[in-house]
């Protein structure tokens, strides 16, 4: 069997990647990017001791014996600064998030009090010092590193960045990605209908896979099987950080991609991977560009993206997690495996008595894109497997579209 194993090819690709330096983006565009610098707090948060409840700021000594009646000297809501000091026998009405006034050392929640007709308040419970007070700096202290370089910016991280008023955020630069399809048999999306041609699905499936990672790729179109035109198109592609070339990488006499890439100075690292689908998967390095040669079959193309190109792009973007999350599932029916290559079987997933069940999406032919459109995961059949029987546990890589489910989870 020629070509690298999948694991060796993945190592080869990831080792060749690096980040592309930092850029500053507005917080509104930072979701999904990766912090290129540590982020420090610019203030204590909360900026003062605040009430955790709606209630009354009191002196705990005053409520050692209850019930007791206190004078209400002030009304403090969030955003107000207290103007008075709470003395013995006094309290201040206080709202959640409002600053605790001087003199007070605890808060009693409104449910444990009774407003009296003379404007005073009856306190019905005793509490310890600091009861229902959130400490100044409890969330973050001025100068503290609250987010480290390398953090992926999730919605919670966006909230933290807003909390330290990071209107601009330093993140790793996105790679500029170009996609080129090759082959005289292909018809472009805006080309007139020709019954004898095959629509170029790969450019768009690859486009969407790149978009799903938060990157807007450039589609270069279709290179014809003509050496001069192909060379010109590949030269355009080599202006980008990453070039994806779909088709033309197998051994046919009309496949000009390999010699043309090499003539343009691309140093090829591998041309074959021991996998199915996706055997003719290639990877090379040019002075400015990482080049991926992708099989022309649409399913092979999408699987190769999942195994090599997605992880590479995530590595360039600065993410620490490069690979699809995997789950263990029970296989619903026998899967044959006669090859000595790792096989990626498109499966649908369902829950049965709390456990995941994986079912192959029908015909697994590498031309049958529907199997990929229906798929929720890629089941990994190890190269040495002699086939997997129904009921056995398998490893499944989760694809896009699996972040949500039909039913609410847990006993809500």
In our burial notation (b when 16+ CB lie closer than 10 A, e otherwise), range 358-394 reads bbbbeebebebbebbeebbbbbbbebebeebeeeeeb
394 phi/psi in degrees, rounded to 5: -130, 160
Contact, 243 vs 290, CB < 8 A?
A: yes
Q: In what order do the strands lie in the sheet with 177-182?
A: 218-223, 177-182, 242-246, 290-294, 282-285, 267-270
Residue from 103, 175, 183, 284 in contact with a copy of itself (CB under 8 A): 183
Residue from 232, 262, 392, 400 in contact with a copy of itself (CB under 8 A): 400
Contact, 4 vs 270, CB < 8 A?
A: yes
Nearest to 30 by CA among 181, 161, 180, 165: 161
Residue from 254, 338, 353, 389 in contact with a copy of itself (CB under 8 A): 254
Q: How far is the CB of 70 from a copy of itself (least distance, A)?
A: 18
Which is closer to a copy of itself, CB of 84 or CB of 320?
A: 320
Q: How many residues does the chain have?
A: 412
40 is an interface residue for a copy of itself by CB under 8 A? no
Q: How far is the CB of 288 from a copy of itself (least distance, A)?
A: 25
198 is an interface residue for a copy of itself by CB under 8 A? yes
Start-to-end Cα distance in the chain: 52
Omega before residue 67 within 30° of 0, cis = yes
Binding residues among 71-130 for a copy of itself as defined by CB under 8 A? 75, 77-81, 95-99
199 is an interface residue for a copy of itself by CB under 8 A? yes
Residue from 156, 287, 353, 389 in contact with a copy of itself (CB under 8 A): 156
Binding residues among 271-290 for a copy of itself as defined by CB under 8 A? none
138 is an interface residue for a copy of itself by CB under 8 A? yes
Which is closer to a copy of itself, CB of 62 or CB of 376?
A: 376
49 is an interface residue for a copy of itself by CB under 8 A? no
Q: How far is the CB of 376 from a copy of itself (least distance, A)?
A: 9
Q: Which stretch binds a copy of itself (CB under 8 A): 17-25, 101-109, 119-127, 146-154?
A: 146-154
Contact, 357 vs 58, CB < 8 A?
A: no
64 is an interface residue for a copy of itself by CB under 8 A? no
Nearest to 42 by CA among 153, 214, 167: 167
7 is an interface residue for a copy of itself by CB under 8 A? yes
317 is an interface residue for a copy of itself by CB under 8 A? no
Distance between CA atoms of residues 205 and 158, nearest Å = 30
Binding residues among 225-244 for a copy of itself as defined by CB under 8 A? 225
């Amino acid at each position: 069997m020629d070509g690298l194993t999948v694991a060796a090819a993945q190592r080869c690709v990831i080792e060749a990647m690096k980040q592309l330096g930092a850029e500053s983006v507005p917080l509104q565009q930072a979701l999904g990017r990766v912090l290129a610098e540590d982020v420090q707090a610019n203030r204590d948060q909360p900026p003062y001791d605040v009430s955790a409840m709606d209630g009354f700021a009191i002196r705990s000594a005053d409520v050692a014996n209850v019930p007791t009646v206190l004078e209400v000297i002030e009304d403090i809501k969030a955003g107000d600064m207290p103007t008075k000091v709470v003395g013995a026998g006094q309290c201040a009405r206080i709202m959640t998030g409002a600053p605790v006034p001087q003199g007070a050392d605890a808060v009693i929640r409104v449910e444990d009090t009774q407003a009296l007709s003379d404007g005073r308040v009856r306190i019905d419970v005793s509490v310890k010092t600091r009861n229902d007070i959130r400490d100044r700096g409890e969330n973050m202290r001025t100068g503290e590193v609250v987010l480290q370089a390398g953090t992926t910016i999730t919605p919670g991280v966006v909230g933290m960045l807003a909390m330290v008023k990071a209107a601009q955020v330093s993140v790793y630069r996105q790679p500029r990605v170009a996609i080129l399809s090759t082959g005289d048999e292909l018809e472009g999306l805006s080309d007139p209908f020709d019954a004898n041609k095959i629509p170029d699905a790969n450019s768009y499936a690859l486009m969407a896979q790149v978009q799903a990672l938060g990157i807007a790729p450039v589609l270069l179109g279709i290179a014809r099987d003509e050496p001069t035109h192909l060379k010109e198109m590949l030269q355009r592609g080599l202006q980008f950080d990453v070039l994806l070339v779909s088709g033309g990488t197998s051994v046919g006499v009309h496949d000009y991609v390999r010699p043309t890439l090499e003539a343009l100075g691309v140093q090829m690292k591998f041309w074959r991977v021991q996998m199915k689908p996706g055997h003719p998967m290639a990877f090379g390095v040019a002075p400015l560009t990482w080049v991926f040669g992708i099989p022309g079959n649409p399913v092979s193309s999408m699987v190769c993206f999942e195994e090599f190109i997605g992880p590479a792009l995530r590595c360039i973007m600065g993410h620490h997690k490069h690979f699809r999350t995997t789950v263990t599932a029970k296989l619903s029916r026998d899967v044959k495996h006669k090859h000595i290559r790792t096989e990626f079987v498109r499966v649908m997933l369902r829950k049965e008595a709390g456990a995941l069940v994986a079912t192959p999406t029908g015909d697994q032919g590498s031309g049958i894109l529907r199997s990929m459109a229906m798929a929720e995961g890629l089941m990994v059949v190890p190269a040495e497997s002699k086939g997997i029987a129904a009921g056995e546990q398998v490893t499944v890589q989760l694809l896009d579209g699996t972040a949500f489910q039909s039913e609410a989870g847990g006993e809500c």
